[in-house]
Structure 1
Amino acid sequence: MTVVALLSVAPVREGSMADEVADAVATLDEFDVAYETNPMGTVIEADDVGTLFAACEAAHRAVDADRVSTVLKVDDKRTNDDPAAAKVEGVEEALGREARGDRE
């Protein structure tokens, strides 16, 4: 099984959150997960939901703040082991191009 999630962890405060977000992302290296950070969060891929939740909990706890906001969206497709990239490839195949638009 492959479990894919979108995780967003941030301190609740004004100003840049880059250092705290970096701490959360760096924590993921301690787990057997693949991940990619984008402007809205981090997409995480794991073999099982337990590993995914453990990694997400560690990322949440890594943010040193009085208040932390965490959003987690999980796709636990139990019928196959397709990686997260296959989801994007399917959309790109339907589009007939890359699934991105560059702003100039």
Structure 2
Amino acid sequence: MSAEGRDPGLQPERTRLAWRRTGLTLTVVTALAVRLGSTGGPTEVLIAGVTVLLWGAALALCWPRGTGTGPAPIGGRTLPLVALATAGLALLGALLVVRGLW
């Protein structure tokens, strides 16, 4: 495809939608972790609390890009930090599932 035929308006829209999906997914995972943590003991409550903290940090990074209100405040470090928070949430979710199986 030639440079003249490319619509530059589509890429920012796809990027904005991807950041919105990331924020929504993190919100759902956090809600499930809090729900599972609220019925457990102190370990589950601690895991749920850490999940909420990671969710808040990731959401603060995703919000500017997902709403199109501007670039993320920390520049090029947004994606690695969101990936780290997502991996942390996945690990905490796995701990909750394993803990629930015992």
| TM-score interval, normalised by the smaller of the two chains | 0.3 to 0.5
Higher helix content, 1 or 2: 2
Q: TM-score, normalised by structure 2?
A: 0.33
Q: TM-score, normalised by structure 1?
A: 0.33
For CA contacts below 8 A with separation 6 or more, give which structure has more relative contact order.
1
- Highest CA radius of gyration, 1 or 2? 2
